[in-house]
Structures are given as structure tokens and as C-alpha cells.
Amino acid sequence: MSWRIIRLSLALFIFYMLLTMDFSAPGVAIGLSLSLAVSYFSVRVLYDVAASAEEVRIPGPLRLVSYLLFLLLSIYRASFRYMLHVIRNDEEPAALRIRLHTANPFIVSLIANSVTLTPGTITLSTKGDELTVLCIKGDLGYESLRAEITEGFERQLTGRIK
């Protein structure tokens, strides 16, 4: 069993345990076996077996937990901002192209899903390191919305400083 499968299994097992909060022996056994099975069958999706492409790097558990907290805070803030736009009737939809500073497909898909979870925005498509996002402008300018995604979500996941 490769180190990649073990690392992925451990990450999935921790996530499973956090979701179920079932620390009984059968719960742990089921979580461990599911994590190993999913890791074994999906390792070829996440990693290039020929090693010709850049390896997909999954952020560490602490970075993912801090990202989850950041995402929850972002969803909370955006929901109130979106409610104000609806009340004021000042919605102005726009489709933006946002180029990320990373081409890691795991991080790009995580950011795309996070954008979709945030009220007032939805990811229409991804291509390489570029997202197409449908958003409500409101009182923020388009550059502010771009910065929220690149300097918010991406910085939290990659640790990249401007």
C-alpha cells in the first residue's frame, strides 16, 4: 500500500469521524474500511500514475479545518449582505472570470464549490486555473469580488500571501 493511499485514507477517516461522531468499535471499523476502500479506488483520480503531471497536493488537516471555519464565516457574512441587496432591490448580476494563482485541481474544485455555497454567487465553469462566476454585484465592485475569492478562499487554502 502506497504512502498516498495511507495519507488519503487518514484524511478521509478523520473527516468521516467528524461527520458521524460515532466512536464505537463498529463505527470506527466502518469508517476505517470505507476510507481505505475509497482511497484505494480513487487514488488514480487524484494522482497521475505516470508522474508526468504535477502531483495533486491536498492541504493538511489543520489548513482544511481553518478553511472550513473561514468558509462558514464567509457564508454567514454573505447571507446578510445578500439579504440587504434583496431588500434594497439593488442586485446587478454579472459573470466574472477569475484567474487563480494555483492550478492544483483539488484546490480549484474546492474554491469553485465554496463559491457556489456562498449566497449570491455560483460557479458556472472551471477551466484550468480560471473560474467563471455568476455573482450579484450590489455595493461591492467587481474587483472586490475577485479579491474576496483570490485573497480569501485561495489564500486560506494555499497559504499564499499576496
**The whole model's pTM is what?**
0.67
Kindly report which listed range (35-49, 88-102, 123-137) carries the lowest average pLDDT score: 35-49
DSSP letter assigned to residue 121: E
Residue 1 has pLDDT above 80, yes or no: no
Residue 58 has pLDDT above 50, yes or no: yes
Confidence of residue 52 (pLDDT cuts 50, 70, 90): very low
Percent of the chain with pLDDT over 70: 86
Phi-psi region of 120 (alpha: psi -120 to 50; beta: other; left: phi over 0): left
Per residue in 63-85, pLDDT (tens digit) is 888 888 999 999 999 899 888 88
Mean pLDDT of 155-159: 84
For the record, the C-alpha cell of 101 comes out as 494563482
- Cα torsion 118, 121, 125, 129: sign: negative
Which pLDDT score, from 0 to 100, does residue 49 have? Answer: 56
Q: Return the residue matching grid coordinates 495519507.
A: 7
Average pLDDT, whole number, for the chain? 82
Strand order, beta sheet including 130-136: 93-99, 130-136, 121-127
Confidence of residue 14 (pLDDT cuts 50, 70, 90): confident
